[in-house]
Amino acid sequence: MTDKTTHFGFRNVPVTEKAQHVREVFDSVADNYDLMNDVMSLGIHRLWKRYAIGMASLKPGQQILDLAGGTGDLTSLMAPGVGTEGHIVLSDINAAMLRNGRGHLLDQGISGNVTFAQANAEQLPFPNNSFDLVTMAFGLRNVTDKQRALDAIYRVLRPGGRLLILEFSRPVAALKPAYDFYSFSILPKLGRLIAKDEDSYRYLAESIRMHPDQQTLKGMLEQAGFERCDFHNLTGGIVAIHRGYKF
């Protein structure tokens, strides 16, 4: 009996192997991750993240899980909002990304209200009803079983809590030709030049195309139990912010 398969970019791989492939990608790009984000988005990713946090309605004392938090961009934006009474868990499946995230936050003087956890989004090691907010920026498309991850997020959110997912999505038709050209012809070359890793950035372009579109992902949030689900397109749908509440 053959293993079930899933996509890793445009390739099919055994379900049991995808997490390792993703881990290898981020092991490779961790040290250049922030620089590449700035270069490949012309810095716009910082505006996307600020917009997402603006939708979070942060309050002092909140408990937050920054899932797939990588090098800590969202955590650094949220830490002042929750104050010394609040707490953020910066979580990522990749140890190299977490190390860089810890270093970046320490460089900014952020430490007292942040802890770190290496965890798989599908198997969150937190009690039920633990967090007021879960954020996930550019991480869901790398998860093997996205529905299982959304179910896990729903479990750890408190009643009244919200989920915010910032992720690449489907751009409007007018942008698609230029976006495809950039993604498949320019982006891998930037990866080779700056990060010395063309393959990982080719995977990035492919993984975006395999990720559910806006309406499909909204339906997946609703299937997990979230209510009042919506999404907001940014930059013509190149990215979208999905939001859902647990009541």
State the pLDDT at residue 3: 66
pLDDT digits (tens, 9 = 90+) for 2-57: 468 999 899 989 998 998 888 888 988 988 889 899 999 999 999 999 999 999 99
How far apart CA 149 and CA 19 sit, in angstroms, is 13
pLDDT digits (tens, 9 = 90+) for 134-160: 999 999 999 999 999 999 999 999 999
Count of CB atoms within 10 A of residue 189's CB? Answer: 12
How far apart CA 228 and CA 244 sit, in angstroms, is 6
Q: Which domain holds residue 92?
A: 5-245
Alpha helices in the chain (DSSP H): 15-29, 33-41, 44-54, 73-82, 95-107, 146-156, 176-181, 187-190, 198-210, 214-224
State the pLDDT at residue 55: 96
- Residues 132 and 62 sit within 8 Å (Cβ to Cβ): yes
CA 205 distance to own-chain centroid:
15
Residue 33's CATH number: 3.40.50.150
The number of distinct structural domains making up the chain is 1
pLDDT band at 226 (very low <50, low <70, confident <90, very high): very high
pLDDT digits (tens, 9 = 90+) for 182-216: 999 999 999 999 989 999 999 999 999 999 999 99
DSSP string of 170-210, one letter each residue:
---GGGHHHHHHIIIIIHHHHIIIIIS-HHHHHHHHHHHHH
pLDDT digits (tens, 9 = 90+) for 89-133: 999 999 999 999 999 999 999 989 999 999 999 999 999 999 999
- Residues 148 and 80 sit within 8 Å (Cβ to Cβ): no
